[in-house]
Structure 1
Amino acid sequence: MTSVDHRSAEEIGRTATGPRPVPELGAQKAAADLSHVDTVLSNGLRLLAVRKPTVPLVELRLRIPFGGTAPLHAATAEVLAETMLTGTARRDRIEIDTELALIGGELDTVVDPERLTISGNGLAAGLPTLLDVLADALTAASYVDDEVARESARLVERLAVSRTQPRVIAREALLRHVYGDHPATREVPQAADVEQVTPEAVRALHTASVLPRGSVLVIVGDIDPERIAADVERVLGGWSSDASAVVMPGLPEVTGGDLLLVPRAGAVQSQIRLIAQSLPRTDPRYAALQLANMTYGGYFSSRLVENIREDKGYTYSAHSGFEFTGTTATVGVDADTANEVTAAALLETRYELGRLVVVPPTAEEVESVRQYAVGSLLTATSSQAGLASQLAALTAAGLGVEWLAEHPERVAAVTVEEVAQAALDFFAPARFTGVVVGDAETLAPRLTALGGVIVGEPGK
């Protein structure tokens, strides 16, 4: 038997005259060149129907603004989302599941403080059935007492588990630190509040808030957009109201300041969460800011990841990215670390923010993140599901297919100087605030010694 010499990755990547050159990237192409219809139906519902016939399937996303300020709104909305598809005046739960199964389809409902989202998919030939079941739920969901009680009990159990998860605790602590008692902070309702929700309250919330005017329906797949527009107008014609869907109150602007150390006694790991005000996708400077963010912590080869993950091993994952809420946007930084390196990880996280300002991205860095930004957008929208979700997110800002098609050109046009200015304007350490969640007895001495960290009270 002959022995085989195996070459290492480094050996494979080199030639006799030096490193093997990386192939040139191909020319950029548009993220979307799609036949579509973008219109507002007679009931006030915006419909965005897009033809993408890669497979004989269809994806559906319905986003309904679902704000509310009542004390039990978050809990009632969560129960509504859990029970909306458990029965209507025409179909019980089994009939709904059976009809969807026959078209290889499904419908799911989730809610957050900003919106109620119904997502679905199925065979393109089964779209009439998918729309009919959706219309039935929108106009005649029954919220039978037994179903509400059963799903509420399950929800209480899930919430009890969820509220023990470090990431959930950190997320809620961050939101409360920057937004106080704003409705946006109630992403995870209290189990005690869910126990107070009645079927009557769920039915009343549906009547008052599950409304077409101001909502958006996105349909992507092997469809004829013009014909689908007429079909949706006909099927959803019975879903109507003179009122508009309820938009969540606008968020206050995030201002920089001290980080709050949120005590979590006995925790062996810590969660670092930073946040600053940013720019929405509609702003002309967004493309430059996007590239600045990617340079900082927006992808695996970013400065932050190279520093605290690859070089120092402080965390398994570190990331920075945008969050869009209504017409506003923030940029966040997150990392989970062991207690013994939390202070060091925070120091390096702040250091990289400052370095992005005083040592702005180089031409090489900008070109790298530029290619990644365009490539990741193309990848994210290559499937029907990905395109539907991306478009549904864009519609929240009043955008659509045109923005998606034109964005690669905007990214391609950004200069190194514009990226450097975006870094200076939006990534200065003083613009950030946030929280560190962990064992205060272990963490407080080093974190407070760094400065800019205050210790919160247990349980608050």
Structure 2
Amino acid sequence: MSAPTTHRSAEEIGRTALGPRPLPELGEQRAAADLSTVDTVLANGLRVIAVRRSSVPLVEVRLRVPFGDPAASSVGSTHAARAEVLANTVLTGTASRSRVDVDTELALVGGELDAVVDPERLAFSGNALVSGLDTVLDVLRDALTGATYPAEEVERERARLVERIRLARSQPNVIAREALQRHLYGDHPFAKEMPEADEVAAVTRDDVLALHASAVLPRGSVLVVVGDVEPDAAVRAVEGALGGWTGEGAAVSLSPLPVVEGGDVLLVHRPGAVQSQIRLAGRGLVRTDPRYPALQIANLVFGGFFSSRLVENIREDKGYTYSARSHPEFTPEGATLLVDADTASEVTAAALLETRYELGRLGLVPPSESEVDTARRYAIGSLLTATSSQGGLASFLVNLAGLGLGIEWFTGHPDRLAAVTVEQVAEAALEFFAPSSFTGVLVGDAELLAPQLRALGGVSLP
């Protein structure tokens, strides 16, 4: 009979008789600066960014159509509801293709095409074998210029949306997100990420057809193609397929959001909740601001990855939460810093106290050289990892384009991160992470939370 196997810990495995095994030095991390690319605007106003990345014989396509509410100032606007039904039915039929035809043609070239919408944009995402690029573009053209929105498809998808919305509105994270958006932005259309179920139920096929005709426009939109194809050839393919996509005016972008200002956290009552959602927000910086790289690193040190101060405090040390993080959100012509944590009700006040403590400590006890270096490596590495695939690069570039940026920002960002000093990170930490600079919401059972939160202060109780 063999002796039982002895399991060794990671620390034991990493040690030798002479001490810990040395870790190899990380290699230099740099974005690919020699990408073959074309960035141009077609005669119809559509911006096209084509990038060759020949890792696999595939091609990725991303189309971003600004989709702001032109009647944003009107009381009772149903734009969000109509936009949701449009996004869910735009690929369900044209004058020449049924839903089955669309799916079949794409499948034959190893491809797919989907559409989603939010308050800022209508987005199409597709991919295929390189040999299927023309097919994907032709299906996209057909949907953009000739979607018929079959009545039975509109009815079916509308019913599904109503059920999904009703289910989503019972989820704590959705409740917290909607409460935070209303608290920060009031009635601005950006705050309405999900329409009401009864608004969706009232949308008709004629509503969707009218919205498509008035809002699905090439001027102001951007299409990104990334794959094993020469950029000039990709642009010619796009022009051949989408050059006839026309429309009056330009796609509507959202108006700028109000600047986030610090203040009390709003307690949102959720009766019977055994967990609470802490959602804080403060002012951030747009990616083109010279201080942004320093702020990005400061945010990582605070709560932007697993080795951050916030995670170490309220997750690892005190066990108040399984997940805590801070991250930037880029909004129309601005940016915010968001802090998220979910906690058990009995430790909610303590978790909020420790979160505020870590915010203040970041400015008063600035990140060390070691912390900055670790966060810097993580920032560069995560950027390169996220954009290492064709799909990741395509999605990243179309989001940059929506902010008015191009591939030059991507290729130059690792060098900007590498140039950030410890002193610059300390300045960003002191300026942007003061507890008084943040506001937000806390969703939970007010009857359980109110006594401790009242004693803690800085919380508006219902």
The letter for the 2-side match of 1:360 is P
CA contact (8 A) 1:145 1:199 kept: yes
Pairs within 5 Å for 1:19-418: 19-68=20-69, 69=72, 71-418=77-424
- Number of aligned residues: 456
Q: Mark the CA change 1:173 to 1:5 in structure 2 (over 3 Å): closer, same or farther.
A: closer
- Which of 439, 446, 451 aligns to 2:452? It is 446
> Residues of 1 paired with 2:299 and 2:398: CA distance?
23
Q: What CA distance in whole angstroms lies between the structure 2 residues aligned with 1:140 and 1:296?
A: 49
Q: Which amino acid aligns with 2:417?
A: V
Q: Within 2, Cα distance between the matches of 1:244 and 1:213?
A: 5
Rounded to whole Å, the distance in 1 between the matches of 2:65 and 2:304 is 29
8 A contact 2:37–2:51 mirrored in 1: yes
CA distance in 2, matches of 1:135, 1:32: 32
Whether 2:426 is the aligned partner of 1:420: answer yes
1:31 is displaced (CA, Å) by 4.4
Please say if residues 31 and 408 of structure 1, whose CA atoms lie closer than 8 Å, have aligned partners that are also in contact. no
> What are structure 1's unaligned runs of at least 5 residues?
none
Letter in 2 for 1:83: T
Q: 2:29 is aligned with what amino acid?
A: Q
Distance 1:338 1:7 in 2: 34
Q: Deviations over 1:317-363 (max 9, x none)?
A: 00100111222111100001110111111011111000001001000
Shift of 1:77: 0.3
Equivalent pair of 2:64/2:398 in contact (CA under 8 Å):
yes
Name the amino acid aligned to 2:63.
L
Q: Assess if the C-alpha contact under 8 Å between 2:329 and 2:337 holds in 1.
A: yes
Q: Which residue of 1 aligns with 2:439?
A: 433
The question of whether the paired residues in 1 share the 8 Å contact of 2:257 and 2:333 is answered with: no
Rounded Cα–Cα distance in structure 1 between residues aligned with 2:31 and 2:88: 39
Alpha-carbon shift at residue 197 of structure 1 (Å): 0.9
Q: Retained in 1: the 8 A contact 2:56–2:228?
A: yes
User: How big is the shift at 1:455?
Assistant: 1.5
Unaligned runs of 5+ in 2: none
TM-score by length of 1: 0.97
CA distance in 2, matches of 1:337, 1:30: 38
Partner of 1:279, secondary structure, is: coil
Greater CA deviation, 357-366 or 227-236?
227-236
8 A Cα contact 1:104 1:122, kept in partner: yes
RMSD: 1.2
* Superposition TM-score, scaled by structure 2 size: 0.97
Matched-pair contact (CA < 8 Å) for 1:31–1:377: no
State the identity as a percent: 67
d(CA) in 2 for partners of 1:134, 1:433: 42
Contact 1:275 1:333 (C-alpha < 8 Å) held by counterparts: yes
Mark the CA change 1:339 to 1:112 in structure 2 (over 3 Å): closer, same or farther: same
CA drift of 1:417 comes to: 0.2
Distance 2:208 2:86 in 1: 6
CA distance in 2, matches of 1:34, 1:433: 42
Conserved 8 A contact 2:82-2:208: yes
Deviation track 1:258-285 (CA, whole Å, cap 9, x = no partner) reads 0000001011111000001110111111
Q: Distance in 1 between matches of 2:259 and 2:301?
A: 24
Tell me the residue number matched to 2:12. Answer: 11
